[in-house]
Amino acid sequence: MTESEEGAPHRSGEQRDGGGRMRIGWPRRVFSQVLLMQLAIATGVTALATGLFLAPLGDQLDDQAMRRALAIAQTTAARPGLAQDLQRTAPSPEGPVQAEAERIRRSTGAEYIVVMDERGVRWSHTSPDEIGHHVSTDPSAALAGQEVMQIDNGTLGRSARGKVPLREADGDIVGAVSVGIAYESVRDRLISAVPGLLAYAGGALAVGALAAYVVSRRLQRRTHDLAFSDISALLAEREAMLHGIREGVVALDARGRIRLVNDEAQRLLGIGPADTGKPLDEVLGPGRTTDVLAGRVTGDDLLTVRGNRVLVANRMPTDDGGAVATLRDRTELERLGRELDGTRGLIDALRAQDHEHANRMHTLLGLLELGLYEEAVEFVTEVVGVHRATAEQVTERVHDPLLAALLVGKATVAAERGVGLRISGDTLLPDRVVDPRGLVTVVGNLVDNALDAAAGTQEPLVEVALRAEGRTAVLRVGDSGPGVPPGQRELIFTEGWSTKDPPSHGQRGIGLALVRRLAERQGGSALVGAREGGGAEFTVVLPEALAEELTEDLTEPGLAEAGEVR
């Protein structure tokens, strides 16, 4: 939302109700929300910690006050002569019991010290008027010989109390001593500890607020100050875009693990969602595709082959050390480009044939005008026989129609380029090819490369041999070219490697890579070596490239009489 759309920008957290009145709402920005949440958490934790500290502190102070009152009571009851004074004198504000009790009270800071007889009548009290009266709380436990600690209400208010029995020298109980410490003094101690505690709590809260601010600012920079709703919308849009585009996207983290892969990339690379989080080398295995995606091969629009697909890859590093790679399927485009190259070659061959045909027609016309009819018939027979011999030689040895047509066409192109294309004498391929199109791709690529290599040599020659060994098809294509150095015999099967200039429709270095990939996919191999007499010889072995030979019992009723096998 822009400022021009609303007339004025809305500040974070400001909203308007139905009547147009401004009201404060929950802020939209991630920075503000996280900061407020962290401050609320820090405040709550500080308050909880303070409460957890104060609760046991109050109990501890109460216990200390009761124990102090009990200790004063014990000390008072142990005073020599107090039990005799209680028995010899009457309860009086001027009596020795009152005087001794007040002296101890003033020296210890107790709120009161009450000495009572065995009937519960006071002989001492902070208020002289209470002397001679019955105590306000039950003294039976102390008079029974028990020591009592409690917080209770009396005539002087709420206090921490300690009660002990008063015994004579022989141990007989003649009364009790009750000492009280004002509860307000305990509360004062508790309250006096609160400011210091709050100071520490406030310091902790300030540190927590500063940390919350720093974290929120960092989060703000990382999220580009977007609201949670904006981030959620962006995530939904990203998922829709990644899975909707017809281009493969692979995201890698800094450690080379697959972080994200969309549907198209899964289809092109042959992997699944379960591979997310695994190292790229483990998922794809060694090869050029892995090297390109991992960044070990650099450049723009890098060609690679995955399965039988030709892919164009681009890689863009990210700020966190990872990378995002895009993949485009150029299989159809590459096939169309090669068909275009083939069509152009055929057009050039037809143009050359047209020129040669015109020359031959002019020669034939001249022979007829000169009346050399026998020479004309011989000339026509020779020209027609050459083409017919080539076609018959191919169809006799290669029974698959697609391969036969390919080799006849390649022979015509070779003738126009001045290269001899010869079918080896041991060639024999039955019409049982399982994947004729795949074999056409292999043969076509190898013959094209051989023609390019042989063209321009002194005795240009390409020799093709196709034979069946059970269900295995073995293909050999040799040429009289310069050959392949031993150090490059594996390199030439790498995607993108070529010694020739790229064609107009794209890059070279795909044909031999496809040949090896097609062979390996069928469990076979593609190798190159030296040819006898010079040049290179490519050997491709394709196991189970041929279907099982059809065998039927000709003695089956009806078949022998018909004389044919259906």
Write the DSSP string, 7-59: SSPPPTTEEE-TTS-EEE----BHHHHHHHHHHHHHHHHHHHHHHHHHHHHHH
Phi, psi angles (nearest 5°) of residue 122: -75, 140
Mean pLDDT over residues 109-121, rounded? 89
Task: Say what the pLDDT of residue 44 is.
Answer: 76
Q: Name beta bridge partners: 175.
A: 117, 166
Query: What percent of the chain shows pLDDT beyond 90?
Result: 8
Task: Say what the pLDDT of residue 547 is.
Answer: 80
Residue 134 CA to residue 150 CA, distance in Å, equals 19
Cβ contacts of residue 129 below 8 Å, gap of 6+?
A: none
CB 560 within 8 A of CB 509: no
CA-closest candidate to residue 160, choices 63, 254, 273: 63
Per the structure block, which two tokens stand in for 128? 């002289």
Read off the pLDDT of residues 294-348 as tens digits, 9 standing for 90 and up. Answer: 888 887 877 777 776 778 888 999 888 889 988 888 766 656 655 565 566 556 5
Task: Say what the pLDDT of residue 37 is.
Answer: 74
Task: Say what the pLDDT of residue 22 is.
Answer: 46
Which residue has better confidence, 475 or 309? 475
Read off the pLDDT of residues 401-451 as tens digits, 9 standing for 90 and up. Answer: 888 888 887 887 787 778 888 888 888 888 888 888 778 888 888 998 898
pLDDT mean across residues, the chain: 77
User: Does residue 452 have a pLDDT over 90?
Assistant: no
CB 284 within 8 A of CB 293: yes
Q: Give the type of residue at 328.
A: R
Mean pLDDT over residues 162-186, rounded? 84
Identify the structural domains of the chain with CATH numbers, from first to last.
Answer: 23-224 (3.30.450.20), 245-328 (3.30.450.20), 395-542 (3.30.565.10)
Task: Say what the pLDDT of residue 479 is.
Answer: 93
Half-sphere exposure of 339 (CA within 13 A, CB side): 7
Phi, psi angles (nearest 5°) of residue 74: -65, -40
pLDDT band for position 8 (50/70/90)?
A: very low
Mean pLDDT over residues 124-147, rounded? 88
The 3 state secondary structure assigned to 272-307 is CHHHCCCEHHHHHCCCHHHHHHHCCCCCCCEEEEEC
pTM score over 0.75: no
| Alpha carbon 61 to chain centroid, angstroms | 57
Q: Name beta bridge partners: 286.
A: none
Per the structure block, which two tokens stand in for 52? 């957890």
Mean pLDDT over residues 124-130, rounded? 88
Read off the pLDDT of residues 77-109 as tens digits, 9 standing for 90 and up. Answer: 888 888 888 888 888 888 898 898 999 988 988
CA-closest candidate to residue 495, choices 475, 481, 516, 476: 516
Q: What angle do CA 278, 280, 282 make, to 5 degrees?
A: 70
Residue 198 CA to residue 115 CA, distance in Å, equals 42
Read off the pLDDT of residues 525-563 as tens digits, 9 standing for 90 and up. Answer: 899 999 888 899 999 998 878 887 754 443 344 333 333
